[in-house]
């Protein structure tokens, strides 16, 4: 055998070993960023063209976010996506919340953007902070403080219904351990998301919907929305504890028409596909489309059940294109609600039948069955009803979260 012939097997073995090393390194890929908290932004006009405390050099917002997944490193997403003017953030900080406007001693961590403490976000844009070292426990509350210097803000980008008390104070008091007699507000302004550095197996679940996903009429500051109930169950289960939950509900939202925020088809890329580490989508949309289309007093933006099914199918197709598994949630009872009607109920049943039977979805969550009165399935069980016959109360939201089969997230 010539030297060249003896060399070829050795080279082949070296190539195989190199490939094996490459595959092993890939299999043991390092930690990555995963969304642990999010809120869907909408636009709010600001006629005064300023923001917050008047007669000062600016305003500090301290906003509280209840995270799902934990980690040792965090980053924050701030948004000016609906803004008409550049938005300057003069300083920002993240810390563990100690309750109300206070922060836990020793946890205050400045946020930087490209190494700078201040950043200007162009209209229509968002900004992701640099990584910040902060040990965050699962299901804990974080306090994000943002100083906005005095500047024109003709349109605010916010999530209008936070179901959470947040705080506002004059001046740059970002680093204060607690805010002195702050004003309270109940939206998340300019705050879009929080990511954590988590294990290679981790990922996020986007819950996408309207006010029922947003948690309308649940107890403020109690984190009693159904996505919160799901997050607690995921953390309690070893097989699913690596999953975060991102609530992308908007009160009043519809599949096919704008009313409260952009319609579901229009906001899907921003609120689902662009989320960090998303692996699963649970969608629950169209009761507002049905209610308004068949309003017994004044119907408008009339659509059919078939129109809605096409729209929901589009959501599933677009998610699948990006490798996201799609779980459909049935619409909860609404007979007795202000805009309920027999024709609307027939539409709800048609949409629910499609969700339960279509082969387009990777799984189903039957919120209808979980919340209905067995003796009269078109209405909520009284213990689940907030009183408006459209939104659950805390017990109803818990029933929804508890009804989700966690095996959907282990396949």
pLDDT 10s digits, 169-228: 999 999 999 999 999 999 999 999 999 999 999 999 999 999 999 999 999 999 999 999
Predicted pLDDT at 326: 98
Q: Is there a contact between 395 and 383 (Cβ–Cβ < 8 Å)?
A: yes
Predicted pLDDT at 260: 83
Predicted pLDDT at 259: 85
Residue 293: how many CB atoms within 10 A of its CB?
A: 25
DSSP calls for 289-327: HHHHHT-SS---S---HHHHHHHHHHHHHHHHHTT-EEE
The mean predicted confidence, pLDDT, of the chain is: 92
Q: Residue 155: CB partners within 8 Å, gap ≥ 6?
A: 43, 44, 45, 46, 82, 83, 84, 85
Return the residue matching tokens 């049943």.
Answer: 349
Label the pairing between strands 325-329 and 278-284: parallel
Q: What's the half-sphere exposure (Cβ side, CA atoms, 13 Å) at 261? A: 30
Predicted pLDDT at 52: 75
**CA dihedral of residues 20, 22, 26, 28 (deg, nearest 10):** 70
The strand order across the sheet containing 42-45 reads 42-45, 155-159, 188-189
Predicted pLDDT at 27: 41
Predicted pLDDT at 332: 98
Compute the distance between CA of residue 251 and CA of residue 270 in angstroms, rounded to an integer: 17
Predicted pLDDT at 11: 38
Compute the distance between CA of residue 393 and CA of residue 222 in angstroms, rounded to an integer: 12
Write out pLDDT tens, residues 100-159. 999 999 999 999 999 999 999 999 999 999 999 999 999 999 999 999 999 999 999 999
Predicted pLDDT at 14: 39
Predicted pLDDT at 242: 97
Nearest to 388 by CA among 314, 342, 334: 334
Predicted pLDDT at 47: 72
Distance of CA 273 to the CA centre of its chain: 12
Block mean pLDDT (10 aa), the chain, length 411: 40 40 42 96 85 80 98 98 96 98 98 98 98 98 97 94 97 96 96 96 97 98 98 98 98 94 97 98 98 95 97 98 98 97 98 98 98 98 98 98 97 77
């Amino acid at each position: 055998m010539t030297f060249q012939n003896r060399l070829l097997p050795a080279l082949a073995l070296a190539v195989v070993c190199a490939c094996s090393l490459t595959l092993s390194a890939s299999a043991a890929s390092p930690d990555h960023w995963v969304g642990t908290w999010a809120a869907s932004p909408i636009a709010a006009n600001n006629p005064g063209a300023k923001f917050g405390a008047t007669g000062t050099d600016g305003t500090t917002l301290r906003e509280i976010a209840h995270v799902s997944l934990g980690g040792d490193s965090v980053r924050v997403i701030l948004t000016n996506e609906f803004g008409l003017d550049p938005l300057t953030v003069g300083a920002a900080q993240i810390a563990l919340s100690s309750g109300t406007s206070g922060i836990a001693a020793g946890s205050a961590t400045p946020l930087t953007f490209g190494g700078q403490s201040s950043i200007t976000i162009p209209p229509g844009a968002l900004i992701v902070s640099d990584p910040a070292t902060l040990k965050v426990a699962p299901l804990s509350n974080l306090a994000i403080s943002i100083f906005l210097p005095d500047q024109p803000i003709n349109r605010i980008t916010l999530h209008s219904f936070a179901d959470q008390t947040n705080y506002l104070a004059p001046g740059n008091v970002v680093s204060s351990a607690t805010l002195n007699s702050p004003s309270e507000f109940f939206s998340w302004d300019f705050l879009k998301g929080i990511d954590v550095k988590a294990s290679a197996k981790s990922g996020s679940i986007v819950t996408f919907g309207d006010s029922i996903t947003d948690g309308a009429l649940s107890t403020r500051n109690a984190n009693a929305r159904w996505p919160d109930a799901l997050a607690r169950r995921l953390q309690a289960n070893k097989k699913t504890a690596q999953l975060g939950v991102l609530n992308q509900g908007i009160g009043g939202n519809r599949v096919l028409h704008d009313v409260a925020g952009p319609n579901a088809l229009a906001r899907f890329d921003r609120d689902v596909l662009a989320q960090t580490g998303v692996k699963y989508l649970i969608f629950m949309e169209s009761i507002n489309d049905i209610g308004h289309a068949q309003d017994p007093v004044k119907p408008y933006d009339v659509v059919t059940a078939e129109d809605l099914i096409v729209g929901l199918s589009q959501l599933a197709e677009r998610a699948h294109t990006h490798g996201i598994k799609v779980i459909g949630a049935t619409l909860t009872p609404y007979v007795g609600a202000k805009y309920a009607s027999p024709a609307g109920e027939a539409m709800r049943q048609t949409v629910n039948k499609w969700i339960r039977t279509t082969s387009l979805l990777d799984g189903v969550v039957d919120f209808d069955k979980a919340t209905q009165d067995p003796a009269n399935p078109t209405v909520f069980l009284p213990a689940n009803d907030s009183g408006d016959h459209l939104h659950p109360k805390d017990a109803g939201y818990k029933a929804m979260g508890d009804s989700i089969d966690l095996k959907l997230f282990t396949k």
